[in-house]
């Protein structure tokens, strides 16, 4: 089964969302893409844009590996660089393996449809086994970048670069590592991937995708961090010159489901918006036309000391229209292939895998073929991909609502 309203190419492979930006009245999403087939390899950047975050216009592939260049083995994940006088993206360029990845920059045309040749702006520093997935941010009126990494001693870490000169980054040092206070309580991993940093209701939140070699991707965690230079005290000037530090305060899961990874965050005039990758249940299957899709756009909020998310209101309105939905009573219901259900209580189960199940309490359920996204009130989202239909059980004396999506 293929999803109908989740963003995906018509064919090929899709994984991490990249380069999220709002540009000239449209949302632009780039993504990891193999146009040649539904398997991971020969990674290009796919490109789609939308006015309402639901109806997507698919553009030609933005760019791909340059023969003999620093990304000859793949154009891996990265971000759009804000605040420059012309469009630019930075990403991980791979030649033969993840161990030789560098940070590459490409300049873009005003319409974001054409991109120049890659140029290397940062290389792995000593002591780093592998690094990838640059994230650019401003701090104290200066431009910095975080890059996910695994160190030679086996510790997952974040590297900090001074990116004031966008074409020649300066390595500052390791800004966070898995054996530091609070960070050491995260699930174990070999590499911290796809770092994202954003402010959510006044709380600075770091998002990390935890990679363990040889294991399925995930989980994805949020970490509340102290990055405020005001806490530096008497030596503030010296420490600001050295660059920001990330002191972890608390952490939790961004999504508790089995099929969610590598989200990217974009900020606008509203709350930060997040889009993640939903892997296929059976990856590297050459018999399906497309592997993977992206999540619905989610707005982030800070509630009761934790990060929570909900569907972006513009996207929700575009999907549901003006319909009110129909009431569904107690019992077991097979959910349609494109539907939204609002449930006060119950259980959601995959028809092909009874172990793939979730107890529901005051939840929104969005079904798209074999993909489901669940948004409980006040809790983390749950994203899963089955291989059959989704079954909804509602307890006796309770009712929910069901709305078909066009």
Judge: domain 12-312, CATH 3.30.450.20: no
Q: Establish how many alpha carbons lie within 13 A of residue 146's alpha carbon, considering only the half-sphere containing its beta carbon.
A: 23
**Cβ–Cβ under 8 Å, residues 247 and 225:** yes
Report the alpha-carbon distance of residue 282 to residue 292 in Å, rounded.
10
Residue for token pair 């991109």: 115
User: What pLDDT does 99 receive?
Assistant: 87
Asked whether the whole model's pTM tops 0.85, one would answer yes
Name 6's Cβ contacts closer than 8 Å, sequence gap at least 6: 278, 293, 294, 295, 296, 368, 371
User: What pLDDT does 205 receive?
Assistant: 98
Domain ranges of the chain: 12-312, 321-404
User: What pLDDT does 308 receive?
Assistant: 97
Q: Interior CA angle at 44 toward 366 and 54, to 5°?
A: 25
Positions of the chain with pLDDT under 70: 229-240, 283-286, 406
């Amino acid at each position: 089964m293929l999803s109908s309203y989740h963003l995906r190419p018509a064919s090929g492979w899709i994984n991490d969302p990249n380069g999220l930006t709002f540009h000239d009245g449209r949302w632009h999403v780039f993504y990891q893409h193999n146009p040649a087939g539904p398997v991971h390899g020969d990674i290009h950047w796919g490109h789609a844009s939308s006015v309402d975050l639901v109806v997507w216009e698919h553009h030609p592939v933005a760019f791909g590996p340059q023969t003999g260049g620093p990304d000859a083995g793949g154009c891996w994940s990265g971000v759009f660089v804000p605040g420059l006088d012309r469009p630019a993206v930075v990403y991980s360029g791979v030649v033969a393996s993840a161990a030789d990845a560098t940070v590459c920059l490409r300049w873009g045309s005003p319409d974001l449809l054409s991109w120049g040749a890659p140029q290397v702006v940062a290389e792995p520093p000593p002591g780093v086994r592998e690094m990838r997935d640059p994230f650019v941010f401003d701090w104290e009126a200066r431009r910095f970048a975080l890059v996910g990494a695994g160190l030679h001693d086996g510790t997952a870490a974040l590297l900090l670069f001074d990116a004031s000169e966008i074409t020649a980054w300066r390595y500052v040092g390791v800004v966070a590592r898995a054996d530091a206070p609070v960070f050491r309580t995260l699930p174990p991993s070999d590499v911290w991937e796809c770092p994202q940093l954003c402010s959510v209701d006044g709380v600075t939140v770091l998002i990390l995708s935890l990679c363990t070699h040889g294991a399925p991707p995930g989980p994805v965690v949020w970490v509340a961090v102290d990055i405020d230079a005001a806490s530096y005290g008497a030596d503030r000037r010296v420490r600001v010159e050295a660059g920001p530090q990330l002191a972890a305060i608390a952490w939790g899961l961004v999504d508790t489901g089995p099929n969610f990874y590598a989200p990217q965050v974009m900020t606008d005039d509203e709350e930060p918006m997040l889009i993640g990758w939903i892997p296929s249940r059976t990856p590297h299957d050459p018999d399906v036309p497309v592997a993977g899709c992206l999540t619905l756009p989610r707005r982030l909020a800070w509630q009761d000391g934790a990060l929570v998310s909900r569907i972006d209101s513009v996207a929700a309105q575009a999907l549901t229209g003006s319909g009110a939905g129909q009431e569904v009573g107690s019992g077991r219901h097979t959910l349609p292939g494109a539907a939204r259900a609002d449930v006060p209580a119950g259980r959601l189960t995959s028809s092909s895998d009874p172990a793939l199940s979730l107890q529901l309490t005051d939840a929104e359920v969005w079904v798209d073929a074999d993909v489901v996204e669940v948004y409980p009130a006040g809790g983390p989202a749950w994203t899963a991909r089955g291989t059959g239909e989704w079954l909804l059980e509602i307890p006796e004396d309770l009712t929910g609502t069901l709305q078909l999506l066009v």
